[in-house]
Amino acid sequence: MNEEIKRAILEKIKAYHRIMLFRHIRMDGDCVGASKGLKEMIRATFPDKEVLLVDEQHSDFLAFLGPDEDGVPDEAYRDALAIVVDTSEKSRISNQKYALCREIIKIDHHIETDPYGHLNWVEEERSSACEMIADFYASFREEWVLTKEAASFIFLGMVTDSGRFRFSGVTGETMRLAGLMLDAGVDTETLYANLYLQDYEAMKFKAYVYEHMERTENGVAYIDVTQDMRRQFGLNLEAASSVINYLENIRGCLCWLAFIESDEPQEGIRVRLRSRFMTVNQVAEKHHGGGHACAAGATVYSAEEMVSLIREMDEEAGKYKETHEGWL
């Protein structure tokens, strides 16, 4: 699929001496895996090129993947090729200096709303951006050097963005490409330990969430992580945001929401929306957000808006349950 655009991207990589990788704000395993994985692939294959990933964000959860490069002068961007992974809109690119680069390539698996690249390779049905990087490798296998390190980054993003290969976007092709990464020697035991191990204090927070979560009539599970809770458990925004994952396996709750109050009240309350079977992005879009069918984000600016969003989601869940069978 898309052989021409992939070939064009490879030619651009060959043509440039300096290549810079970019990804989205609020980093996750997929954008980190895709940016670091592609960086290592290019470095190993073209050792004379300068390949840089400059990003001032930090994630405690993903710190085990290692740091990125320190900042470089603006001049360095000007003659570089920018490759932006996993980022649907340019406003969500974490290092906005990407715009200084001479040419921009977008590689993404979100719905196309902003083709900001000179070349845009977008495949909405892919389960992760890392799956696309693995496919990029597979398409020109004889030309690429795939190190164990690169394969580990790419595999990690495939694992995390597909819910450990559980979501419906996972295909036979996903697994074949994941297999190619494993063939390069990924240490799955260490990788999964890094993904699953939790601090004792985080477990205590989890217990608190299960005590305090709520459920609407039609089975929308939700939790409001207030500033007080954040203070009590010493949670930064990232740790507080991970609460969404705690609510995902409640029978009959087809969608679940987490509200996370930020440090500055004027920034609003971050909402994370997740679902199985039914979709949530239409409600997210009504509240300054958007995203995928079953994983979306939004922002609400008052307690009243929070209540409205829960009500809207509850109505959607009710309609879905009335008109569909087989949900769990």
The span from the CA of 313 to the CA of 220, in Å, is 7
Smallest gap, in angstroms, from Cβ of residue 299 to ligand AMP? 6
Q: Select the residue interacting with ligand AMP from 8, 76, 184, 295 (CB under 6 A).
A: 295
Compose the 155-174 pattern: x for residues touching ligand AMP by CB under 6 A, - for all others. --------------------
Whether the CB-CB separation of 287 and 296 falls below 8 Å is answered with no
Tokens of 132: 């696309």
> Which range touches ligand AMP (CB under 6 A), out of 31-39, 73-81, 216-224, 291-299?
291-299
> Which lies closer to ligand AMP via its Cβ, residue 13 or residue 298?
298
- Binding to ligand AMP by residue 291, rule CB under 6 A? yes
Looking only at the bridges linking them, the beta strands covering 269-275 and 220-225 are unpaired
The span from the CA of 320 to the CA of 317, in Å, is 5
Sheet holding 81-85, edge to edge: 50-53, 18-22, 81-85, 103-108, 119-122
Using CB under 6 A, count the residues that bind ligand AMP.
10
Interacting residues with ligand AMP between 244 and 273 (CB under 6 A)? 272
> Which lies closer to ligand AMP via its Cβ, residue 115 or residue 179?
115
> Which range touches ligand AMP (CB under 6 A), out of 100-108, 126-134, 192-200, 288-296?
288-296
Looking only at the bridges linking them, the beta strands covering 214-215 and 269-275 are unpaired
What percent of the chain is helix, strand and coil (3-state, nearest 5)?
45, 20, 35
> Which lies closer to ligand AMP via its Cβ, residue 26 or residue 90?
26
- Binding to ligand AMP by residue 297, rule CB under 6 A? yes
Residue that has been written with the tokens 């992005």 in this structure: 281
Tokens of 238: 């990232």
Interacting residues with ligand AMP between 15 and 34 (CB under 6 A)? 26
Q: By CB under 6 A, name the binding residues for ligand AMP.
A: 26, 110, 272, 289-292, 295-297
